[in-house]
Amino acid sequence: MKNRPRVHEMPSKPAAELPRPFIVVADDEKRIADTLVLILKSKGYAAQAAHDGASALAICRQNVPDLVVSDVVMPGMNGIELAIAIRRQFPGCHILLFSGQAETMEILEDAKRRGYDFELLAKPLHPEELLARIEKLIGPKNPRQRLGRWWGKGHG
């Protein structure tokens, strides 16, 4: 019997049905959170908006996201407190923070002293800049590209 090359089974689902990266967007400014979700969905991501930190955390507990994008300054649980809770409960989840307020640096420095270091983007945030950062953090949104990336890492 000849040595045959290994044949690997490919997923039987069409690429459109393969899992897409899931992103939670948290911002108390409803318009901003909802707009970012619409942009992310239009670019092929699965995304859900939360309008406060507690709601974002509840969403994460129901469906662990690949990434949480959060405003820092929010009433109740702020973005840093949310990020710390996510880092503790879901260590594989990426976190990207944004803010347009000067007081954010003090809050970030406090988190850093406690052992938590988070990336911060400044508001106003251009959608293309956000999309580029997201792709760098969690990889391609296209399921075929994600599969190709996985395949290239020696899983084939």
Q: Two tokens at 1?
A: 């019997």
In terms of pLDDT, which residue wins out, 69 or 127?
69
**Which distant-in-sequence residues (6+ apart) come within 8 Å of 120 by Cβ?**
72, 97, 98, 99, 104, 108
Widest pairwise Cα distance in the chain: 71
Domain annotation covers residue 32: yes
DSSP secondary structure letter of residue 22: E
* CA separation for the pair 108, 149 (Å, rounded): 33
Domain annotation covers residue 56: yes
Residue 82's Cβ-side half-sphere holds a number of Cα atoms within 13 Å equal to: 35
Neighbours of 92 (CB within 10 A): 8
Instruction: Summarize pLDDT for 10-58 with one digit per residue, the tens.
Output: 444 444 555 789 999 999 999 999 999 999 999 999 999 999 999 999 9
Domain annotation covers residue 65: yes
Domain annotation covers residue 149: no
Give the pLDDT of residue 152. 45
* Cβ–Cβ < 8 Å for 50, 26: yes
* CA separation for the pair 112, 98 (Å, rounded): 16
Q: Residue 128 sits in which domain range?
A: 19-140
Give the pLDDT of residue 151. 42
Domain annotation covers residue 59: yes
Give the pLDDT of residue 7. 44
Number of domains observed in the structure of the chain:
1
* CA separation for the pair 44, 23 (Å, rounded): 11
Instruction: Summarize pLDDT for 135-156 with one digit per residue, the tens.
Output: 988 876 655 444 444 444 444 4
Domain holding 117: CATH number?
3.40.50.2300
Domain annotation covers residue 93: yes
Domain annotation covers residue 13: no
Give the pLDDT of residue 126. 85
For 49-115, give the DSSP string. EESSHHHHHHHHHHS--SEEEEES--SSS-HHHHHHHHHHH-TTSEEEEEE--TTHHHHHHHHHHTT
